[in-house]
Structure 1
C-alpha cells in the first residue's frame, strides 16, 4: 500500500495539474469549465477536418438599376442560388461601409465586458434583450455551441429615450437598413415566382423580426466542437454580416463546404418559412459555424420573421406542406429539441 505522505503528494500534484489545466482552458464565457463533464464523458479526436472552401454565388444589386433585361437576369441568378445553394452573397446592397464598421466596433466592445456583467445586466439597454451562451440543454458535445450572443427583438429598437447610447443608436440604424434590404430581397424572390404581393411588408415588421449579435471565442479544446451547431433557420430570410475570420459552413449535395469570407458582401440565406411558402422552390439548408483555436469571430444576423399568428401557406399547387402558423412551427421545433435533442423542422409539416 502507498503511505499517506506519498498519497498526499500525488493528490497535491493532481490538484495543481487540474488548476493549471482549467486556467489554460479559461474562457469568457466559462464554456469549458461549465461543460467539462461533456468532454470527460466523450472522447473527441483533436484534429482539423479538411473541408473544401467555396465562394457563394455573388449578386450585385446595383445591376437591378441597369435596365429591364439586366434586372430580370439578376433576379433569376438570385433565385437560382436560393434553389441550388440556399445561400448567396450580395454587394452594392445599400448599407454603408461606415455603418457596418461601426456596428462591428460597438459589438466587440459590449462582448468584451466581464462575463458577470453580460450575464446580469442589460448592457444594450433593450428591455427585451437576452444574453445567451453555450447550450444549457446539451447532453453531448454534438449539441454544444461554443459561443455567446445577444438576442435583440426589434420591437424596442426605435425607443428614442436611448438615443444618447452609441451602441443603441448604431443598432437602431443598422436594424432599419438591414430590414429594408431583407424586404427588398424577399420581394424580388417572390417576383421570380410570378407573384407581386405585400405579404412580407404586412407580416414581417419590426415587431416580429430580430437581430442576434454573435461572438465565437477561441476554442483550444477541440477542432470538432462547433461554434454554432448544425441547423436550419426558422424564418423567411437571414442576412449575415461577418468578419473575415471565417468558419461558416453549409451542406451542399450532402457534403460540408466552408464559405470563403468576402469583406464587401453580406450573406443571405433562405429560412424554413420561405422554403414552405415557395413550395420548395427555394431551399433552407443546414449550416453551422466551426470554432477557431486562436482567434475570436464576430457576426451580426438579422432574421426576417412574421408575427406568431401569421399563416404560412404555399403560393403554389399542389402543396408540399400543410398550412401552419409561425407559432405552431416554433412550438413544434422547441418540443422536438426538448424531447429528441435536435430540430426536425419542415418534415413535420408535410401534407
Structure 2
C-alpha cells in the first residue's frame, strides 16, 4: 500500500487543474480480508515477466547516501557524490535532512491507522471517476492492464487553494494536521535539494519513472519493497532509519538534456507484512514549458528533448498505463530532428 502526497509547486490559481481520471476498482485490502488466497487475474504478473527480472541485491549497498547538511553547505565531496548519484543511479538516500524523527513516526502511525480503518470509513474519501484526489487506485486507464496490488491515498497539498479537503481524512484524529506538518517539512527538504544544485548542473526547479522534478519517499524501516532499475537489473533499496529516498524525475532529465536520469522503479509485495510508503512529488507550474536548459546543449551534446508544457505532459502521462519510460520517450526529439541539428 502507498500513501502519496502529491506536491505541486505552482503559483496561485482559482482551482486545481483537472488531471486524468482513473477507473474505480475494488479495494485490495478488502479482497485480501474476504479471501486471502485468491488473487484476481488482473493483478497477476506472468511467469515470463518474472523470469525476465534480473534481481541484483548485492548492489544495494552501493546506492549513494547523501548528507543533506554537508550538501547544503557546499561540501565539494558531497556535491560530487550528488552529481554521480543523479547521473549513474537516478536514486539516492538522504540523511541529516532536518525532518524530526517524531514527525516521521507520527506520519507512519497515522497512515497505518487510516489504512486499517473499516472500508466504510475509508470510502468516505474515495476517488471519484473525474478526480485523482482521495482514497483508491490512481493511474488505472484500462481493464486490460496488469494492476498494482496496492491501495493509495493521493492528495494535492500545495498550493493550499488546490486542496480538496473533502478527500482529506478526518480519521484518525489529527491525521490532517500531521499530513500538513509532514508535507511542509519534506517540501522544505525538496527545495533545499534543488537549491543545492550547482550552475553546471540542473537549475531551477509497475515499473515506471516519475513525472516530477524530484520525488522524496519515506519507507517503512523494516520492510524492503522498493526496487530500482540499474545496469539492466533490479536493485532493492534497503531502508535506512530516518532517511528519505530521493529520485530524479522526468522534468530533471529533460532540463539536464539527459545528463541526469529518471530511473524506472517498482514496488514489490511482501507476503509476510504490509508495506506503506509516503511519496511527495515536487513539480513545476502546470503552464511552464519544460525543455533542456541552454547550458546543457553544445556541439557535443545536441538537444535531445522538445519543449513540452508541463501540465499537458502530466495529463498525457496519467492517461496511459504506467509502463517503463514510455511517457518520457514522447518528449524526445525524433531522429530526423536530431539529424537537422547536425546539418
TM-score (norm 2): 0.72
Structure 1 residues 291 and 332: alpha-carbon distance in aligned structure 2, compared to 1, 3 A threshold: same
Q: Which residue of 1 aligns with 2:175?
A: 167
Counterpart check, 1:83 vs 2:87: yes
Instruction: Specify every segment of 5 or more residues in structure 2 that has no aligned partner in the other structure, as ranges.
Output: 1-26, 334-343
For residues 201-239 of structure 1, give each alpha carbon's deviation from its aligned partner in whole angstroms, at most 9, with x where no partner exists. xxxxxxxxxxxxxxxxxxxxxxxxxxxx11100110000
Aligned 1:235-314 pairs, distance under 5 A: 235-244=212-221, 245-314=223-292
CA contact (8 A) 1:248 1:289 kept: yes
Equivalent-residue separation in structure 2 for 1:88 and 1:42 (angstroms) = 30
Partner of 2:105: 101
CA contact (8 A) 2:248 2:262 kept: yes
Task: Describe the shift of the 1:109–1:86 C-alpha distance in structure 2 as closer, same or farther (beyond 3 A).
Answer: same
- The equivalent of 2:186 in structure 1 is 178
User: Residues 28 and 44 (structure 1 numbering): CA distance in 2 closer, same or farther, change over 3 Å?
Assistant: farther
- Structure 1 range deviating more: 257-266 or 176-185: 257-266
Distance 1:192 1:310 in 2: 20
Task: Count how many residue pairs are aligned between Structure 1 and Structure 2.
Answer: 284
**Is the contact made by 2:91 and 2:245 (CA closer than 8 Å) also made in structure 1?**
yes
Residues 182 and 27 from structure 1, CA distance in 2 versus in 1: closer, same or farther, beyond 3 angstroms? closer
Where does the alignment leave 5 or more consecutive residues of structure 1 unmatched? 1-25, 201-228
Aligned to 1:130: 134
SS of the equivalent of 2:239 reads coil
Larger radius of gyration: 1
Deviation for aligned residue 1:333: 2.1
Offset at residue 58 of structure 1 (A)? 0.7
Partner residue in 2 for 1:234: 211
TM-score, normalised on structure 1? 0.71
* Counterpart pick for 1:116 among 113, 117, 120: 120
Relative to 1, partners in 2 of residues 1:100 and 1:42: Cα closer, same or farther, differing over 3 Å?
closer
SS for the counterpart of 1:291 is coil
For 1:349 and 1:96, the matched residues in 2 are separated by 38
Distance 1:65 1:151, change over 3 A: closer
